[in-house]
Amino acid sequence: MRRSAITLFCASCMLSTSAYATGFDLREFSASSLGTSYAGAGANGQHASTMPFNPALAGWVDDFDISVSAIGVVPTATGDFTTATTSFGNPTGGTTTPSSIISQAIIPDIAVRKRLSDQFSVGVSVTVPWGLMTKYSDTWAGRYYATKSELMTYNITPVVAYQPVPELSIAVGMQAEYISGNLSKAIDFGLIGCHVNCTVFPPPPGVPFFHVLPGHDDGFVALKANNWAYSYVLGIAWKPNDNLSLGLSYRGEIDHKLNGTETYTLDAGGVGAFFNAYAAPTFVNSGASAEANMPSVLNVSTRLRLDDEWTAMATVDWTGWSAFKQLLVVPVQPHNSADLTTFGWKDSWFGSIGVEYKADDQWTVRAGTAYDETPTPSGAATPGVPDSSRIWLSGGVGYRLNDDIDVDFSIAHLFAGRATIDQLATAPTGENAARGNLIGTVNTGVTLIGVELTYR
């Protein structure tokens, strides 16, 4: 009976998957559209780079074009945690004011369109629609929740567009998406050892008395996994007249089942080694799988040309984050425990407005703003990605070198709110029993810098 109680307690110390439990949407498909905070992107057929927002824009190519974008992500993130204690109530130790939490990155994208006939066009895009990358010190105060959280997707989407009349384009396509994840955190073997000392006392023959304290005898566990999965895209683009364009698109949910390995680094105090020799191996390297659903996205966009120089635009999109009901990590090794994380996510909205000014035949100036709602309820954020709602401000310029080549530059700053982290060891699901209590805030901001080259 005591052995069963100890084994069940250890189950809560397995790999935390809470790094997935925040929004990690990357909409950086088009550096030219970044200048308007992506307002009107789903109704803008000027460049191939907008095709990921609406596959029907493949039908608005004259003959052939290709767009290559690169957007640099320059984040700032600082934390201030007022409470960081083990389940025994003592401080975990380590810094409570981590900085440089979110890593810099460059997001590349490429899109190509080709007209086959008056009615049919095809296109293909390669994008990075979802991703996150955060890293903390191995000794920071919240290490039992996360030390590294890295997820990246690569999405290949071929589409076919049909135009029953020149003003209307209808498209369908397939998504082929590769996902890779790398999550790691510390394990409080000191907590486990103290639990054994209290549960099995005096220790019977073969069970040692561990000279360890909670928060002072750490090990680590890391999960690396990947997968390919498939879904679909649908889109309609309509130009009722020369001044107005409308777009509607839907990107289907992609259900991933990641397969990989979980790897353990045991503690110096010998607690993990004891469990691996006691009854059954509990902290041993193993294959593992986990299911993760990338949400569906509905995009509605419009562009209205006011005169020969000015164009106004707007976009509203909905992301079905409520598809993340839970994430279950299942090890192949039968004595390692499965790990369940439940989510309180909600569907979220993004809305943007922008303007475009055509100064002359070569220069175009853009500006825009947006509100980007977080799917994470207040207080439910995690250290993996401390997400919060954001306000966007952006601007950009486009320059037509000649009839064949356009170059676009854009910059945007995302003003994020304060993410509140309120994770308690007494959470009803029991998933934080070995992670302890972590309460605090994280302030974030992001600057995006993009460049795009289009050849037609």
- Give the CA angle between residues 409, 106, 449 to the nearest 5°: 25
Percent of the chain with pLDDT over 90: 71
Which structural domains are found in the chain, ordered by start? Answer: 2-455 (2.40.160.60)
Among candidate residues 250, 257, 27, the one with its CA nearest the CA of residue 130: 27
Which 3 state secondary structure label does DSSP give 117? coil
DSSP H/E element including 7? helix 2-11
- pLDDT greater than 90 at residue 429: no
The lowest-confidence range among 6-10, 25-29, 305-309, 440-444 is 6-10
pTM score, whole prediction: 0.90
Most confidently modeled of 102-106, 159-163, 334-338? 159-163
Percent of the chain with pLDDT over 70: 93
- pLDDT greater than 80 at residue 1: no
pLDDT (tens digit per residue) in 61-104:
999 999 999 999 999 999 999 999 999 899 999 999 999 998 88
| The two structure tokens encoding residue 445 | 């901001």
Of the pLDDT bands very low, low, confident and very high (cuts 50, 70, 90), residue 17 is very low
User: CB under 8 Å to 406, separation ≥6 — which residues?
Assistant: 32, 47, 398, 399, 400, 452, 453, 454, 456
What interhelical angle do 189-199 and 2-11 show, nearest 10?
160
Sort 202 into a burial class: Cβ within 10 Å, 0-12 / 13-18 / 19+.
Answer: exposed
pLDDT (0 to 100) of residue 274 = 87
- pLDDT greater than 80 at residue 359: yes
Of the pLDDT bands very low, low, confident and very high (cuts 50, 70, 90), residue 228 is very high
